[in-house]
Amino acid sequence: MEEVSEEEPPGSTPLIRARNLEKSLRLKKFFIKFEGASQTGTQKDRISKLHMMRAIEKGYDTVCLATCGNYGASISYYARESGLRTVAAVPSFYSNGRTGEMVQNGADILSVPMKYEEAVDYVRDLANDNAWYNCTPGSPNSDLDIYGYEKIAQEIVEQLGHAPKLISVPVGNGTTLSGIYSGFRRLKSGGLIDTIPRFIAASTAGGNPVIHSWKLGLRKLVNLHPSAISETHLNEPLVSYKALDGQKALDSLYSTRGFGEYVTDDEMLSYTSIIEKTEGIKSLPASSSALAAATRVLSRLGSNQECVIVITGSGMVWTTQ
């Protein structure tokens, strides 16, 4: 694998020219923005640092959140570094492998018998009742999330020298995609780029409101009924019946003439294997959906368009269950 720039700005993640992947999938000008190179292997580190700074500034001693795994691992890591306590609500039936990591970071784990969306509401009430700082998407502090993810766009332009034609991002709540879009929009308004990339939103075939609404041609996000989603150990970071930043993500797709693509669990595993075999990168299967979606879109538009995919890392071994 070949990094675009040898010297990365402090705190940034590498942009990798995926030449082996290009040959394998017959693509041209294909890049991986590898958020797995961050401290805890996820883009969540970008916003966790910001939340700790705000929590300390406002005098909190405890931060809380609802999490499927990655965000809890990131928040608890930086909370421990900052001398803060973490309370993490995790759906009891979720099979993520990062709860132990949260415990090692000193987090108090609340195993709750509810879906993630319900856990978000549960944590909101806990934060209000106990005067804790709420890090969960959709909280009064969620403005930091968009701001933190804007830097991904800034780094891509710095590393590539311009904005790519396409960018593919995994979508759960839609927060990461919305933040990256906001970053490109800010760069364009500042005269630093001429055009904003067309966005590809990749999510699970198990159900996601952003993809569902886009495929129906709806401008206003429509949430799903809880019974309409199908959760698995692979799609947990993406599956959702209520996307907290979904309207922003949907707006981004329409604004950039973008695309929304469903990806199956089998495709996630297949593309995870392809990424590791070609580039030596171990990606989280849910984030490998970005590659599956990108190849599908490129097959329609033409493989010669420059494309960046945003993926996170995973040191775990994944198999079907």
> Where do the DSSP E strands lie in 41-157?
62-66, 85-91, 108-112, 133-134
Q: Please determine, for residue 230, whether its predicted confidence score (pLDDT) is greater than 60.
A: yes
Distances (CA, A) of 285 to 1, 181, 241, 269, 289: 19, 23, 20, 6, 7
pLDDT of residue 95: 65
Neighbour-count burial for 52-87, b at 16+ CB within 10 Å, e otherwise: beebeeeebebbbbbbbbbbbbbbbbbbbeeebbbb
The residue with tokens 């933040």 is 179
pLDDT of residue 33: 97
pLDDT of residue 312: 94
Lowest model confidence (mean pLDDT) among 91-100, 125-134, 242-251: 91-100
The backbone torsions φ and ψ at residue 178, rounded to the nearest 5 degrees and listed phi first, read -65, -40
pLDDT of residue 9: 39
For residues 79 and 86, is the Cβ–Cβ distance under 8 A? yes
Q: Please determine, for residue 316, whether its predicted confidence score (pLDDT) is greater than 90.
A: no
pLDDT of residue 4: 43
Which has the higher per-residue pLDDT, 69 or 96?
69
207-229 pLDDT, tens digit each: 999 999 999 999 999 999 999 99
pLDDT of residue 192: 97
For residues 54 and 133, is the Cβ–Cβ distance under 8 A? yes
Neighbour-count burial for 247-278, b at 16+ CB within 10 Å, e otherwise: bbbbbbbeebebbbbbbbbebbbbbbebbeeb
For residues 159 and 5, is the Cβ–Cβ distance under 8 A? yes
13-27 pLDDT, tens digit each: 999 999 999 999 999
Residue 203, H or E segment: strand 198-204
Domains of the chain: 2-42+145-311 (3.40.50.1100), 45-134 (3.40.50.1100)
Listing DSSP states for 235-294 in one string gives TTTT--SS-TTHHHHHHHHHHTT-EEEEE-HHHHHHHHHHHHHHH---B-HHHHHHHHHH
Q: Please determine, for residue 308, whether its predicted confidence score (pLDDT) is greater than 60.
A: yes
Q: Please determine, for residue 317, whether its predicted confidence score (pLDDT) is greater than 70.
A: no
Mean pLDDT, the chain, integer: 92
For residues 290 and 310, is the Cβ–Cβ distance under 8 A? yes
Q: Please determine, for residue 11, whether its predicted confidence score (pLDDT) is greater than 70.
A: no
Mean pLDDT of the 248-270 span: 98
pLDDT of residue 280: 95
Q: Please determine, for residue 318, whether its predicted confidence score (pLDDT) is greater than 70.
A: no
Mean pLDDT of the 63-85 span: 95
Distances (CA, A) of 100 to 120, 184, 203, 217: 21, 36, 26, 42
Say if pTM beats, i.e. exceeds, 0.85. Answer: yes
- For residue 71, give both structure tokens: 């965000």
pLDDT of residue 249: 98
For residues 142 and 166, is the Cβ–Cβ distance under 8 A? no
Q: In this prediction, what percent of the chain has a pLDDT beyond 70?
A: 93
pLDDT of residue 96: 61
